[in-house]
Structure 1
Amino acid sequence: MKQFISLIKTEFRRIFSNSVLVAIFFGAPVLYGLMFIQVYKKGKVAEMAIVVIDEDNTPMSAKIIDALNDNENLTVAKVQFDAGNIAAEMPSKEYVSVISIPKEFEADILQKRYPELMVDVNTANLVTANFASRAIQTVLGTFSAGVEIESLKKAGMDHATALQRYEPFKVNYNRFYNPSGNYLYLMLPGILGTIMQQVIFLGLGLVFARDFEDGYFNKLVKTSRSSLYHILLKLTPFLLLTAAMWMVVGSFYFIYRIDIPVFSIQMAALVTLFSLACMFIGMLFSLAIPNQLKATELLMVLATPSFILSGYTWPLEGMPVLIQRFADILPLTHFLQGFRKLSVYGGTFRDIQPQMMALGIITIVSFVLIALLLQLKIRNTKNQVVTQ
């Protein structure tokens, strides 16, 4: 035991002697986490620039413009009274929408000819397009209802009857789970999970590769011929360091008052199994590719598309079957699915059982491969020593 503790201390010294690893392992989750919180802090896109082409130029069209400008998500950046050439301005101005009010719009409304407003939405960015479309629909729908009710009242109908005549039945929409449409609640868990997977991959991708390169593995083999001993030796420091980083990452939710429950027994179990799966994959690459640069490069190639392939923002069901199967071997896929079930839906252990089983399989398969490959390398190293 004394020897094991001494070797653990040596492992910590070797970890902290690698300034690049320390900077990435500890700096990336903190710095990137804080940066992305600031990026998505508002949760919504506000004051998106729109253009109104007002060919009617009447009091009613002016009211529509005022109503659009009063919406918190929109700002009327420009009003012009002819069609002009808005397309020429789009590359520099990037208006999210162009709303065209036709000639004789007010007159057509008063004479019940049902004129048509044209709303062109810029879908180059689907996020701003969705926010803008919803805001414009709300404003114009409310305005349209108000005009119809006022028309009925002018025809002699009382206010209550006018409301009932315009709206013969009511439809109530209740938005469950992130009802405010806060983008921070959607993106932050996915981004932080992706960052943690990558830094764990990087940290464990170096543990054996570095030992093979500088000859330290030959010294370790003399202490024990058991692959399990060496796996535990390499794993222990990163278990402690990773747990500390998860606590730091989890504290962001409290510091910035993000209403997502992250400290629970279920979440702790999910995070632990996710971390172990990432560690063993990283360790497996470190053994299979005994070169620090190549091992980390291949791990980054594996990790880079993981967020897109996880199904977190685009459903897995919409991807080709081959890509779905590839996504299944990535720990992040199952972690984010489980995280959403726990944090958003308020799920239980039973709800995340498929994700826990998938992470468990990844962990066990990687562990068995590591044990076999490491035992082979220990035997080969011993044979080389005897031969020499």
Structure 2
Amino acid sequence: MKEFFRLLKREFKVFLGNSTLRTVFFLAPFVYATLLGLVYKSGKVENTPVLVVDKDNTPLSRQLTEMLEDNKSIKVIRFIQEPLSIKDEVIRYEAAAVVMIPSRFEADMLQKKYPELNVYINTGNVLTANFASKALQLTIGTFSAGASIKALQKMGMPATQAATQYEPFKANYITLFNTAGNYLIFMWPAMLAVVLQQIILLAMAVSFAAEFQGETFVKEYYKMRRWAFPTMLIKVIPIWIFSILIVLMYYFMHMIFKVPMPEGVFNFTILTAVFVGSVSFMGVFVSILVPDALKATQILMVIASPAFIISGYTWPLNAMPAAVQFIANIIPLTPFLKAFKILLIQKGSVELTFPYLKHLGILLLVYLILGWIALKIKLWLIFHYVKPVNAQDDTFEEIS
């Protein structure tokens, strides 16, 4: 135990003495949390440019344009005549959509000829396209309903009856979970989890690899050569402690950006603890296998970089190929984000997170066992052929 605490104290000094690790572990989470929070601060996309080409320029077409202008989600840029290249105008104004009001729009409506209104959606950016499409459908649908009801009223039909003629039944659309469609609540907390996984893996990548590469492992860990698991703990305990500080910082950032906390703080704490444990042991395993610190870092970053994309958080996991699903399911971020979404966005029962907590627990045990096996083999390979020259174990020589 004396040797264990000596090495643990040394590990803290090595960690804090590394300027790169200090910057990545303490500064990066704050910078990313602040930057991403400011990016998604508005929560919803507003004042998205939309081009309206009013070829009719009549009171009715202008009324439609005014209704579109009243929608805060979009910003109308009006044209009386169609530009020579509508695509160029879309690019120039970064417009999310184009509304084409045809000539004789008012006349055809009055004559019940049902004119066609063409709406072109710029899907170059799917997010803004979806927001613009939703806003246009709502406004144009409201205008269409009002015009139809008004036409029936002019024919002498009472307003209440005219409404039922246009809409024989009502459909109520009730949103569940994040009812305001706030993108800050949806994306920001998930990205913080991605950052946490990245920095843990980056720190663990050099934990063993740097010792092997710098040839300090033999000298410092000779007395621990028979104790693989305690040696692993020496490397991960500082990461666990510093991760607590990062999570607490995230908590205060939640209050600053007014993002609600997940339901059940105790259960969220357990979930986060298992997540940090599984990520750290995953990093330990790779760091032991790859004795070069740079290569270990590169391998773990290659694994972690696409983790959010393939996690199923923004794109359904079941829509991905089986091979991609397999890779996603061996990365701790995937089950963590699924459980995290239940607690934060869907406000579901804690019991619903148990399958994902079990998944994380299995990953933790698997990476712990793999790391332990890899380290036992590594310890045997390193210390089987060396012995201390003096009692202080300061120098070693190979056994012939």
Question: Structure 1-normalised TM-score?
Answer: 0.96
Which letter maps to 2:221? V
Verify the 8 A CA contact 1:285 1:299 in the aligned structure 2.
yes
Q: What is the CA–CA distance in structure 2 between the aligned matches of 1:181 and 1:228, rounded to whole Å?
A: 46
Which letter maps to 1:189? P
Which letter maps to 1:238? I
Which deviates more, 246-255 or 288-297?
Answer: 246-255
| CA RMSD after TM alignment | 1.6
Which letter maps to 1:168? P
Which letter maps to 2:300? L
Which letter maps to 2:358? M
1:58–1:349 Cα change, 3 Å: closer
Verify the 8 A CA contact 1:33 1:249 in the aligned structure 2.
yes
1:46–1:363 Cα change, 3 Å: same
Structure 2 counterpart of 1:363: 364
Q: What is the CA–CA distance in structure 2 between the aligned matches of 1:140 and 1:84, rounded to whole Å?
A: 25
Verify the 8 A CA contact 1:40 1:183 in the aligned structure 2.
yes
Count of equivalent residues = 388
Which letter maps to 2:223? T
1:82–1:383 Cα change, 3 Å: closer
Q: What is the CA–CA distance in structure 1 between the aligned matches of 2:145 and 2:365, rounded to whole Å?
A: 61
Structure 2 counterpart of 1:102: 102
Verify the 8 A CA contact 1:250 1:263 in the aligned structure 2.
no
Q: Deviations over 1:74-120 (max 9, x none)?
A: 11123222353212333332211111111111111111111111111
User: In the TM superposition, what is the alpha-carbon distance from 1:186 to its structure 2 partner?
Assistant: 1.6
Which letter maps to 2:334? T
Structure 2 counterpart of 1:313: 314
Verify the 8 A CA contact 2:52 2:99 in the aligned structure 1.
yes
Which letter maps to 2:206? L
Q: What is the CA–CA distance in structure 1 between the aligned matches of 2:228 and 2:379, rounded to whole Å?
A: 8
Structure 1 counterpart of 2:346: 345
Structure 2 counterpart of 1:167: 167
> Structure 1: where are the runs of 5+ without partners?
none
Which letter maps to 2:239? F
Which deviates more, 369-378 or 158-167?
Answer: 158-167
Structure 1 counterpart of 2:153: 153
User: In the TM superposition, what is the alpha-carbon distance from 1:196 to its structure 2 partner?
Assistant: 0.8
Structure 1 counterpart of 2:247: 246
Which letter maps to 2:93? K
User: In the TM superposition, what is the alpha-carbon distance from 1:55 to its structure 2 partner?
Assistant: 1.2
Which deviates more, 127-136 or 338-347?
Answer: 338-347
User: In the TM superposition, what is the alpha-carbon distance from 1:172 to its structure 2 partner?
Assistant: 1.0
Which letter maps to 2:333? L
- Aligned identity (percent) is 38
Give the match's secondary structure for 2:352: coil
Structure 1 segment 124-143 matched on structure 2, within 5 A: 124-143=124-143
Which letter maps to 1:123? T
Structure 2 counterpart of 1:229: 230
Give the match's secondary structure for 2:208: helix
Q: What is the CA–CA distance in structure 1 between the aligned matches of 2:265 and 2:375, rounded to whole Å?
A: 35
1:348–1:172 Cα change, 3 Å: closer
Verify the 8 A CA contact 1:197 1:275 in the aligned structure 2.
yes
Which letter maps to 1:79? F
Q: What is the CA–CA distance in structure 1 between the aligned matches of 2:39 and 2:353, rounded to whole Å?
A: 30
Q: What is the CA–CA distance in structure 2 between the aligned matches of 1:90 and 1:347, rounded to whole Å?
A: 42
Verify the 8 A CA contact 1:260 1:344 in the aligned structure 2.
no
Q: What is the CA–CA distance in structure 2 between the aligned matches of 1:155 and 1:348, rounded to whole Å?
A: 55
Structure 1 segment 198-277 matched on structure 2, within 5 A: 198-224=198-224, 225-261=226-262, 264-277=265-278
Give the match's secondary structure for 2:243: helix
Which letter maps to 2:373? L
Structure 1 segment 8-157 matched on structure 2, within 5 A: 8-82=8-82, 84-157=84-157
Which letter maps to 2:258? R
Verify the 8 A CA contact 1:250 1:262 in the aligned structure 2.
no
User: In the TM superposition, what is the alpha-carbon distance from 1:23 to its structure 2 partner?
Assistant: 0.7
Q: What is the CA–CA distance in structure 2 between the aligned matches of 1:263 and 1:96, rounded to whole Å?
A: 40
Give the match's secondary structure for 2:221: helix
Question: Structure 2-normalised TM-score?
Answer: 0.93
